[in-house]
Amino acid sequence: MRSLAVIPALALGLAACGEQLSEPDATAAPMLSVQDLDASTCAARAPTFFVEPAVFPASVDPNLDHGWQNAVGNSFDELDLDAGFPDRSDVDRLISGSLVIDVGLAGIGGPAPTGKMFFGNYPSGDGSYGTVWGGALINLYGGWGNQYARGQLTLEFSRPVAGFGAWVFDDAGSTEQSFRLIATDTDRATTVSPVLESGNGDRHWVEGFIGVVSPVGIEAVAIEVLDEFGRAVVFELDHLQVSPHPAPVTATEWAAATREAIAGLYCTGGLDLENANGLLAKLDAVDKSLANDRPSAPNQLGAFINQVEAFVLAEILTSQLGQALIDAARSAIEAIG
């Protein structure tokens, strides 16, 4: 699994995109500029959760994920897990287009590097949704049964996603169970969803959809089972839905993404208002240079790099975060040519 120590929003992936940065629209305003940062900026970066319990076994509504789907503009990929993995095989990653999802376990029982695939043929009400649809990802490592379960099933994304959702099932457990979704966004902020409980009032046969949408991007999620006795028990996850963020390509997109990263550092205490605005001012200069005198843009990016280096030397930024900003700026300079 990749480290969670670097903010993915700062690792903008420009070197990997392989596309030429283009000149921005001279009339386009920056997404965030000097004096734009305040408490409302940080509040607007908070994620939105979707927790929709299903009443099972009486009925299961296959439309419970529509609220989440509408929130991401119905732009998402869905993994139904019915093919590609043998039954009871270990699973360390999933692939959705160009997005790589690293799978692991954590929480009660300790960390583990893989989850496990499970296939079943239980009835599912109307045949569309229910206890399991053929294949499902479960929170087991090594052996088989609750003694090998972990409290969390973790998913880490190779690049930030705008949203994540999945259907969760408690594997017909005999104890009272409930679930919650823990999302880590590109600001390095961790937010916990409301609890997903059963729709039948007794916390048995818990099923439903649980999802999250973030305006700044999500780099990792954990689905956690809560058992009444504090034990990790087996649960199933299926029909994973992800809405990837597009990678920056143009100079305007690069500057906007970098502004978002700076705003994230401000909102999480990594930069104070004065220093955050100092970096935003450098990005404003980059935009003006590209709009009015393209050859000077690399010089403005150089000024941005100098400012970041000064912040690192003054211990305002860590060397790791500073280097991520510097690498992105250098990639932009190389692409501008």
Q: What is the mean pLDDT of the chain?
A: 78
d(CA 301, CA 25): 18
d(CA 119, CA 258): 43
Identify the pLDDT of residue 8: 36
pLDDT in tens, 157-187: 998 899 999 998 886 666 788 899 999 988 7
Beta strands in 120-206 (DSSP E): 135-138, 152-169, 177-185, 190-192
- Whether residue 125 lies inside any domain: the answer is yes
Q: Evaluate if residue 269 carries a pLDDT over 50.
A: yes
- Whether residue 63 lies inside any domain: the answer is yes
Residues 173 and 252 in one domain: no
Residues 85 and 56 in one domain: yes
Residues 275 and 238 in one domain: no
> Burial of 209 by CB count in 10 Å (0-12 exposed, 13-18 middle, 19+ buried)?
buried
**Enclosing domain of residue 82:** 48-244
Number of domains composing the chain: 2
Identify the pLDDT of residue 266: 86
143: Cβ contacts below 8 Å, ≥ 6 apart: none
Mean pLDDT of the 260-279 span: 86
**Of 28, 15, 6, 35, nearest to 329 (Cα)?**
15
Last residue of one domain, picked from the residues 209, 244, 279? 244
Show the tokens assigned to 18.
């392989």
Last residue of one domain, picked from the residues 226, 244, 262? 244
- Whether residue 41 lies inside any domain: the answer is no
pLDDT in tens, 82-102: 777 888 899 999 998 888 999
Residues 291 and 310 in one domain: yes
pLDDT in tens, 274-324: 888 888 888 888 888 877 766 778 888 888 899 999 999 999 888 888 887
pTM of the model: 0.76
Please report, for the domain that includes residue 159, its CATH number. Answer: 2.60.120
Show the tokens assigned to 194.
């409301």
Q: 3-state SS of 33-46?
A: CCCCCCHHHHHCCC
Last residue of one domain, picked from the residues 244, 262, 279? 244
Task: Name the pLDDT band for 18 (thresholds 50, 70, 90).
Answer: very low
